[in-house]
Amino acid sequence: MIAAARNLVARRQTEEAHDPVMLARRAGIEPDAWQADLLLSDARQKILLCSRQAGKSTVVALLALHQALYKAASQVLLLSPSLRQSQELFRKVKDSYNALAAKTVTAREESSLRMEFGNGARIVALPGKEETIRGFSGVALLIVDEAARVSDELYQAVRPMLAVSGGSIVLLSTPFGKRGFFFHEWTEGGAEWQRVKITAYDSPRISRDWLEQERRSIPDWVFRSEYLCEFVETENSVFLYDDIMRALDGNVQPLFGGLATCSNSITSSG
Ligand SMILES: Nc1ncnc2c1ncn2[C@@H]1O[C@H](COP(=O)(O)OP(=O)(O)OP(=O)(O)O)[C@@H](O)[C@H]1O
Ligand SMILES: [Mg+2]
């Protein structure tokens, strides 16, 4: 009886090793169809161009966890533009791990940004500063969250980490103007990238009514960028966008009073 139960667990583990969707479900997440496709894709280079709140960080957190649980001694690096965003992404990994009822591989949290697994794998989240990433090598999976906000210099510094390991890379972001490596890889990066575009209208969790309300409340170009995933033109709009986002940040005084009219229209969660 016990042997039969053990066999069943072993068989499930073997299946899950090839099927991250099983892991997602075990962590209590039923992936959207596009998330499931992504979890099952074996493309080595992936770009996700997604609406705000589409579920892009959630799905890459699952990819990271699956890699660490099933590839012993592998190193997974999560890069984000800021410390806050790194912590948020790392928390998603931790939440999924903690949600697993049966933990076949143990994990020790080394800090709020690092987790080491009993099989020697490690997940490290880092804010996007070139100094902090120097010294990493042999990265099996590199994930760059909010990639349109990460500098070209940093991207150039991290890419060689994949050279020796033959590791995979996932870039995910909402667009941020027609500039930078994220825009470049999306538009001209060649056939070696798998490209996935998910607008707010493709997401089952973002209501049409809410979107229509949002469309009326915020500038058209902001809506097209944040929810329709369009690389909206002009340097000016990019700067204006930053002003708007600053105005929405409760910790920063708005530069121009008028922009605060958008303050309840754009969410600022990571
Ligand atoms: N498949 C899913 N089932 C249920 N909830 C989900 C699923 N995917 C994501 N979510 C939830 O949707 C919300 C947004 O997810 P997430 O933070 O991953 O999106 P995002 O695209 O990274 O958003 P942002 O643009 O704010 O960074 C979260 O509350 C997350 O838990
Ligand atoms: Mg996110």
Q: 197 - beta bridge partners?
A: 49
Q: Quick one: the chain helix, strand, coil %, rounded to 5?
A: 50, 15, 35
Question: What are the pLDDT digits (tens) for 112-135?
Answer: 899 999 999 999 999 887 677 777
For residue 241, what pLDDT is reported? 59
**pLDDT for residue 173 is more than 70:** yes
> Which ligand has an atom closest to residue 48 CA?
1
CA 181 to ligand 1 centroid distance, Å: 24
Alpha helices, DSSP H only, in 27-70?
33-40, 56-70
For ligand 1, whether the C-beta of 32 sits within 6 Å is yes
* CATH code 3.40.50.300 for 18-268: yes
| pTM for this entry | 0.87
Please state, for a pLDDT cut of 70, what percent of the chain lies above it. 85
In this structure, the number of other CB atoms found within 10 A of the CB of residue 175 comes to: 23
For ligand 1, whether the C-beta of 57 sits within 6 Å is yes
Question: What are the pLDDT digits (tens) for 244-253?
Answer: 555 555 444 4
Pocket test for ligand 1, best of 53, 60, 145 (most atoms within 8 A of CB): 53
Give the whole-angstrom CA distance, residue 220 versus residue 75: 41
Question: What are the pLDDT digits (tens) for 186-212?
Answer: 999 999 999 999 999 999 999 999 999
CA 55 to ligand 1 centroid distance, Å: 3
Higher-confidence residue of 178 and 10: namely 178
Helix or strand run (H / E) with residue 108: strand 107-111
Q: 126 - beta bridge partners?
A: 79
> Which ligand has an atom closest to residue 89 CA?
2
Report the b/e string of 115-145 with b at 16+ CB within 10 A. bbbebebbbbbbbbeeeebeeeeebbbbbbb
Interval 38-65 mean pLDDT: 98
CA 6 to ligand 2 centroid distance, Å: 38
CA 15 to ligand 2 centroid distance, Å: 28
